[in-house]
Structure 1
Amino acid sequence: MKQVVTFGEIMMRLSPPQCQRLSQAASLDVTYGGGDANVAAGLAYLGVPAAHAGCFPDNAVGRAAAQHFQHHGVDMQHCVFRGHRLGLYFLEVGASLRASRIVYDRYDSAFANLQPEWFNWDAVFQNAQWLHWTGITPAISATAAQATREAIAAARRRGLTVSADVNYRRNLWQYGQRAQDVMPELVAGCDLVVCTEGDAEDLFGIRPEAGADNSFVSVSRQLMARFPQIKQVIATRRSTQSASHERIRGLAYSGGEYFETEDFDINPVVDRIGGGDSFISGFIYGQLTYPTVPQALTFATAASALKHTIPGDINLVSAAEVEHIVAGNTTGRLLR
């Protein structure tokens, strides 16, 4: 099987232990994550060959971040080591009534300062079948946006499937270009997008049509009409009961049909970071494995639900574990 390639920034994640506030912490737990790379690692655990392209500082911290994903089965040979700084984010894990909170410290990172010519996309895609990126990557800098543009163009030339989680983060777009001006060209090169109704309105000015019975279907149809390359739109619908209790379901519009899963109830939530990344890695796996969209969507939603039970950014689960949940085994009985 050929590789799924992802492109984006990886950051160090620092969290106070045992749901402490930052003001209480005498120590911080360290791990690494990034929306695109989390997808690659999730796929590697599901048995799909995965590679990541990115830029790290040329120092011990940058090497540690890359080695973290290499340890989890991701091919990191196409990563570049230049620059001096790895982006950071600080996560306070919430509980019950107190929401989790993230503070970013990623300004002037090595990835933000990358140059597009550092990546030979034809070489990166030599053994690839799929490119996945997120809307965070072109938001970081003008050069990151240009590299994303070139990656998509090279993927299209080579006949790869291209997917994106549009993931609009308003506060990231600080370098003088608007997401609304950059993202349409990039999304036009995608076969599959993860896009909620809110992101569709914020990025593309697309709103549900008046009187629409299903807002997701209405928005999906309009996205496909504007961007004819798109064949599938997927998303999750999240019902937050508290910081410790979530319900999620998967949505898909594909081939003129709408699909929706049952709710997956997650209580308690251990760590919701990476839940969306686990959804798309599960859906990619499902598209490569199952004959129908409903099967892929159910697998993806179950994979996302399982990620909420695992600390860290990466979904450390096998396909068999996800299939166990899909089969209705959700009581958490001891497996021997």
Structure 2
Amino acid sequence: MTKVVTLGEIMLRLSTSPGELLTSADTLQMHYGGGEANVAIALSGYGHDTYFVSKVPDNALGRGVQRHLLANGVSTAYLLQGGERLGTYYLEAGIGKRSPRVTYDRKHSSFANLSASELIFEEILDGASLFHVSGITLALSQDLRELTLEALKTAKRKGIKTSFDFNYRATLWSQEEAATAILPILPYVDICSCGELDAVFLLGIKEADHTLSKEERLVYYYRKINEIFPNLEVMVSTFRNNISASSNELQGNLYANGTLYQSKVHDIQPIVDRVGGGDAFAAGILNGLLEKMDYEKTVTFAAAASALKHTVHGDCSQFTKEEVQRFIESGSGRISR
């Protein structure tokens, strides 16, 4: 099996039921989730040997995280224990025209206080084919920015492919802070998940002509990014049309070698849980690249995997390759016999 390593924070998620506000809810649903953990879980379901690098407290919640990862086939060999708390976030479920809303409670978490001296990436990455991380990790502390940069440098030195998802969250840091942290790491990235807003507001690229189609604008931005960072082999993103909180249209994009490849548009309704849809797409892209699918099949698989994730509760996608492929071949709504 292909060894994949991801680095990031996993948190406790507490969610309201649709139709309830967080301010008045008296019961909350509990899940564990985090971008890089979600990617590791999805890739494990596709048959890859995945390792999640993080730190959780030595208490019932930390043990719950470990059980969650192991139950989904992810190795916890590099899951450190220590610190005082597991980061938490609250999800107020959207409905109709009211969008979902996230409230973070993650400061001073065990992972946010992780120091570079606690991890030896020379050993962790030994034998790996891919290392994945996101901008959320960079946002949490200066130590984690330095740790991530060193991990990416180590991966490149060992000939390991690297993947970075911008995953910008305005509630965690400013655009200026994000740009300062992200720019130094991009020379060490092979596969990048980013879109138009990232190009303009984080990378400072001049806005495209608004008379162009959205596809033409995306190609413009990806070409400009490639001029600055020619090391980026693949760039990916999604087009999402938010019709309502329970109805979206989703299309996957993959840019490589000067060409844009796109999936079909998925009409997703009703949405059971949108959280983690981007991670499912990222994992689908990485699976396709690891398995050396052609680019069109890769983005088709990734978009289908993301669409399927919207149909289940929780942060992570637990579908197999075969289930995603059946969905692609049969379309939605048909009984699989």
TM-score normalised per structure 2:
0.95
Which amino acid in the other structure matches residue 201 of structure 2?
D
- Within-5 A mapping of 1:34-183: 34-173=34-173, 178-183=177-182
- Corresponding residue number in structure 2 for 1:198: 197
Question: Equivalent residue of 1:185, what SS?
Answer: coil
Residue among 207, 223, 226 paired with 1:224: 226
Question: Equivalent residue of 1:171, what SS?
Answer: coil
1:23 Cα deviation after fit: 3.1
Question: Equivalent residue of 2:85, what SS?
Answer: coil
1:201 Cα deviation after fit: 1.3
8 Å CA contact 2:252–2:303 kept in 1: the answer is yes
Alpha-carbon distance in structure 1 between the residues aligned to 2:200 and 2:331: 38
Q: For the structure 1 residues 155 and 193, does the alpha-carbon distance in structure 2 shift closer, same or farther, using more than 3 Å as the test?
A: same
> Residue by residue, what CA displacement relative to the aligned partner does 1:20-57 show, whole Å, maximum 9, x if unpaired?
22233222211100011100001111111111101111
Question: Equivalent residue of 1:280, what SS?
Answer: helix
1:92 Cα deviation after fit: 1.4
Extract unaligned runs of 5+ from structure 1: none
Alpha-carbon distance in structure 2 between the residues aligned to 1:27 and 1:109: 24
Question: Equivalent residue of 1:178, what SS?
Answer: helix
- Within-5 A mapping of 1:19-34: 19-34=19-34
- Corresponding residue number in structure 2 for 1:233: 235
Deviates more, 1:15-24 or 1:308-317: 15-24
- Corresponding residue number in structure 2 for 1:334: 335
Residue among 292, 302, 305 paired with 1:303: 305
Residue among 274, 277, 289 paired with 2:276: 274
- Corresponding residue number in structure 1 for 2:258: 256
Question: Equivalent residue of 2:26, what SS?
Answer: coil
Alpha-carbon distance in structure 2 between the residues aligned to 1:289 and 1:266: 27
1:209 Cα deviation after fit: 4.1
8 Å CA contact 1:310–1:316 kept in 2: the answer is no
Which amino acid in the other structure matches residue 241 of structure 2?
S
Deviates more, 1:10-19 or 1:313-322: 10-19
1:88 Cα deviation after fit: 0.3
Extract unaligned runs of 5+ from structure 2: none
1:93 Cα deviation after fit: 1.3
**Sequence identity (%):** 37
Alpha-carbon distance in structure 2 between the residues aligned to 1:198 and 1:166: 11
1:19 Cα deviation after fit: 4.5
8 Å CA contact 2:18–2:94 kept in 1: the answer is no
Alpha-carbon distance in structure 2 between the residues aligned to 1:206 and 1:2: 36
8 Å CA contact 2:42–2:318 kept in 1: the answer is yes
Which amino acid in the other structure matches residue 335 of structure 2?
L
May I ask how many residue pairs the two structures share in their alignment? 334
8 Å CA contact 1:250–1:261 kept in 2: the answer is yes
TM-score normalised per structure 1:
0.95
1:272 Cα deviation after fit: 0.3
Residue among 323, 326, 329 paired with 1:324: 326
1:309 Cα deviation after fit: 0.3
